[in-house]
């Protein structure tokens, strides 16, 4: 797609939620019409904040955001707002327009087809849909506005494989400006033609041209060049400092030479490149399992939805879950995977008998189990069996969660930081049963091989829902349960 004039520009922009701690500093970049841009960077670097600044939900402390006159903007958010859950489909989409639309049903039909969500009952409540279906509704809500600038925040979260492919095909053919935040590298590489890289340490934004994997190589090459340049300068600086120390104690011309060398050292130090700290993966970690002498669980039946009707599948013989087993729950969006996992975690699933002493940890795809009013430290302290703060901080530190960050309210964390906080708690809880609903959501792709390794080595029972095949392959699934085939 040919790109046109600049439609969005950040000019010398500085922003921080507190004035003494800027998140972005003297940021400059521009986006042209019809461009497809990815925003990438470390967890907490300010990716979602960029979207808030574009939308006008936050105002810069200094500098400005320029948006071409009359350019409309819409965003597909990560999670359905709670105040929309009791809306009907029709009422939900009606809010996308400032005036009543008499062709609303036709518009809804058009965008639901675009996101591969065939529905006919527009009076159905939002809360009756699965997380994956709600993700498609959020995308459709943005599309129905036909914006000049479309913002997508983690659009593949909660989508099954078919949903991701359908979304990818749609975005490849999208004819307006697209800016997307995602940690799904393979998804991004299908359509990206440029990257904005946010550095959490320098607080700058760097702009690159090329597809996603090309940009990763450019960043890697740049870091290597900067490190080599600094190594050469450092060697020259040390050599000159030794000469300064020698000549400074001499008289006459030798002392003048020492002064000249000091000036050269100063110049060389100014030429040292402020090398960006690469977006490094978390350190390897282990989730220890609770020791249980008997089966962790026995499954006689599972409940789910099919064609809008409740269904049950009877296991004959019953499914016995022993330590070390890893069960993948599969099925299309809307079949009730999230509801099933939640009922197992809460001990209310009909036909599922848990060991009376089993300790259950549950990763919710929307992080609704987190108390956003608590600090990270307070929430981790709630975990069973935490010996002391020293162990707590060491555990969190392995996942890039600093002691300083842990003092902040969880509500201020990025989605990626919330995910890593959950993993820190599981390390402290040592569960016998670990239930995970889309555990890759919001997690930086660099961290995923380390997390997969930890789950593969986990000795308790793992029950998992995930849309990421390569992640599933790395875990070592022992049994698959496909609800769609029952």
Could you tell me if residue 387 is inside a domain?
Answer: yes
Quote the tokens at residue 336. 């009730």
Q: What is the per-residue pLDDT for 349?
A: 93
CB 320 within 8 A of CB 472: no
Domain end point (choices 215, 230, 261) = 215
Q: What is the per-residue pLDDT for 319?
A: 92
Could you tell me if residue 267 is inside a domain?
Answer: no
- The whole-number average pLDDT for the span 89-104 is 93
CB 208 within 8 A of CB 194: yes
Range of the domain at 193: 6-215
Could you tell me if residue 205 is inside a domain?
Answer: yes
Q: CA-CA distance, 257 to 245, in Å (whole number)?
A: 11
Q: CA-CA distance, 386 to 380, in Å (whole number)?
A: 8
Greatest mean pLDDT range, 30-34, 42-46, 98-102 = 30-34
Size of the chain in residues:
486
* Together in a domain, 122 and 19: yes
* Together in a domain, 209 and 348: no
pLDDT > 90: percent of the chain: 48
- The whole-number average pLDDT for the span 193-216 is 82
3-state DSSP helix/strand/coil percent for the chain, to nearest 5?
40, 25, 40
Quick check: 250 pLDDT over 70?
no
Quick check: 417 pLDDT over 60?
yes
For the chain, how many structural domains are there in total?
2
Could you tell me if residue 80 is inside a domain?
Answer: yes
Could you tell me if residue 460 is inside a domain?
Answer: yes
Quick check: 246 pLDDT over 80?
no
- The whole-number average pLDDT for the span 34-48 is 85
Quick check: 382 pLDDT over 90?
no
Q: CA-CA distance, 216 to 197, in Å (whole number)?
A: 10
* Together in a domain, 308 and 208: no
Q: What is the per-residue pLDDT for 174?
A: 86
* Together in a domain, 202 and 309: no
- Give residue 216's pLDDT band: very low, low, confident or very high (50, 70, 90): confident
Quick check: 296 pLDDT over 90?
yes
Quick check: 85 pLDDT over 60?
yes
Domain end point (choices 168, 199, 215) = 215
CB 331 within 8 A of CB 161: no
Q: What is the per-residue pLDDT for 247?
A: 63
* Together in a domain, 313 and 199: no
- Give residue 475's pLDDT band: very low, low, confident or very high (50, 70, 90): very high
Between 467 and 296, name the one with better pLDDT: 296
CB 15 within 8 A of CB 60: yes
Strand order in the sheet with 326-330: 360-363, 433-437, 461-465, 326-330, 479-482
- Average pLDDT of the chain is 86
Quick check: 268 pLDDT over 70?
no
Between 428 and 120, name the one with better pLDDT: 428
- The whole-number average pLDDT for the span 14-40 is 89
> In whole angstroms, how far apart are CA 359 and each of 20, 110, 314, 445?
43, 47, 26, 29
- Give residue 129's pLDDT band: very low, low, confident or very high (50, 70, 90): confident
* Together in a domain, 40 and 163: yes
Q: CA-CA distance, 438 to 157, in Å (whole number)?
A: 8
* Together in a domain, 362 and 481: yes
Could you tell me if residue 242 is inside a domain?
Answer: no
CATH number of the domain at 421, please: 3.40.50.300
Establish how many alpha carbons lie within 13 A of residue 284's alpha carbon, considering only the half-sphere containing its beta carbon. Answer: 5
* Together in a domain, 195 and 314: no
The backbone torsions φ and ψ at residue 281, rounded to the nearest 5 degrees and listed phi first, read -75, 160
Domain end point (choices 152, 180, 215) = 215
CB 447 within 8 A of CB 419: no
Q: What is the per-residue pLDDT for 254?
A: 67
- Give residue 258's pLDDT band: very low, low, confident or very high (50, 70, 90): low
Q: What is the per-residue pLDDT for 446?
A: 82
Q: What is the per-residue pLDDT for 217?
A: 77
pLDDT, tens digit (0-9, with 9 covering 90-100), for 276-289: 555 678 899 999 99
Give the CA diameter of the chain: 98
- Give residue for tokens 């819409």: 74
> In whole angstroms, how far apart are CA 116 and each of 119, 132, 424, 437?
9, 11, 36, 22
451: Cβ contacts below 8 Å, ≥ 6 apart: 282, 423, 439, 440, 443
Could you tell me if residue 458 is inside a domain?
Answer: yes
Between 199 and 6, name the one with better pLDDT: 6
* Together in a domain, 201 and 315: no
* Together in a domain, 173 and 305: no
Least confident of 171-175, 242-246, 449-453: 242-246
CB 35 within 8 A of CB 180: no
Strand order in the sheet with 177-181: 73-76, 149-153, 177-181, 36-41, 194-198, 205-209
- Give residue 148's pLDDT band: very low, low, confident or very high (50, 70, 90): very high
DSSP character at residue 483: G
* Together in a domain, 156 and 31: yes
Could you tell me if residue 428 is inside a domain?
Answer: yes
Dihedral (Cα; 439, 444, 450, 455), 10-degree rounding: 0
């Amino acid at each position: 797609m040919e790109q046109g004039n600049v439609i969005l520009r950040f000019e010398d922009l500085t922003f921080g939620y507190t004035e003494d701690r800027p998140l972005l500093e003297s940021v400059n970049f521009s986006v042209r019409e019809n461009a497809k841009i990815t925003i990438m960077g470390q967890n907490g670097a300010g990716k979602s904040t960029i979207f808030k600044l574009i939308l006008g939900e936050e105002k810069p402390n200094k500098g400005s955001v320029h948006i071409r006159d009359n350019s409309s903007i819409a965003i597909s958010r990560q999670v359905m707002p709670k105040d929309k859950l009791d809306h009907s489909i029709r009422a939900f989409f009606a809010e996308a327009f400032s005036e009543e639309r008499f062709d609303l049903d036709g518009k809804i039909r058009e965008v639901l087809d675009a996101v591969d969500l065939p529905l006919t009952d527009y009076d159905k409540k939002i809360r009756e849909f699965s997380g994956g279906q709600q993700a498609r509704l959020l995308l459709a809500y943005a599309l129905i506005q036909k914006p000049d600038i479309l913002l997508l925040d983690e659009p593949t979260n909660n989508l099954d494989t078919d949903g991701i492919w359908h979304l990818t095909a749609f975005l490849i053919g999208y004819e307006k400006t697209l800016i997307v935040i995602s940690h799904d590298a393979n998804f991004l590489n299908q359509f990206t033609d440029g990257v904005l890289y946010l550095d959490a340490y320098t607080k700058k934004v760097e702009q690159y041209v090329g597809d996603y994997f090309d940009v990763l190589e450019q960043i890697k090459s740049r870091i290597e060049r900067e490190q080599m340049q600094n190594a050469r300068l450092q060697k020259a600086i040390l050599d000159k400092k030794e000469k300064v120390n020698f000549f400074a104690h001499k008289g006459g011309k030798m002392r003048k030479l020492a002064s000249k060398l000091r000036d050269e050292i100063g110049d060389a130090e100014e030429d040292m490149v402020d090398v960006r700290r690469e977006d490094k993966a978390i350190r390897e970690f282990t989730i220890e399992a609770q020791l249980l002498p008997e089966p962790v669980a026995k499954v006689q039946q599972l409940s789910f939805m099919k064609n809008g009707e409740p269904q049950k599948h009877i296991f004959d013989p019953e499914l016995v879950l022993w330590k070390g087993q890893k069960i993948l729950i599969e099925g299309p969006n809307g079949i009730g995977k999230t509801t099933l996992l939640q009922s197992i975690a809460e001990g209310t699933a009909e036909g599922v008998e848990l060991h009376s002493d089993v300790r259950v940890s549950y990763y919710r795809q929307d992080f609704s189990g987190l108390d956003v009013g608590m600090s990270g430290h307070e929430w981790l302290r709630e975990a069973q069996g935490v010996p002391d703060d020293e162990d707590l901080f060491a555990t969190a530190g392995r996942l890039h969660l600093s002691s300083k960050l842990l003092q902040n309210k969880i509500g201020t964390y990025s989605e990626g930081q919330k995910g890593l906080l959950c993993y820190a708690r599981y390390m402290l809880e040592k569960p016998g049963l670990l239930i995970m609903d889309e555990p890759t959501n919001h997690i930086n792709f660099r961290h995923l091989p380390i997390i997969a390794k930890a789950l593969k080595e986990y000795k308790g029972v793992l029950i998992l829902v995930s849309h990421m095949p390569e992640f599933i392959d790395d875990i070592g699934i022992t049994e698959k349960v496909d609800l769609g085939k029952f």
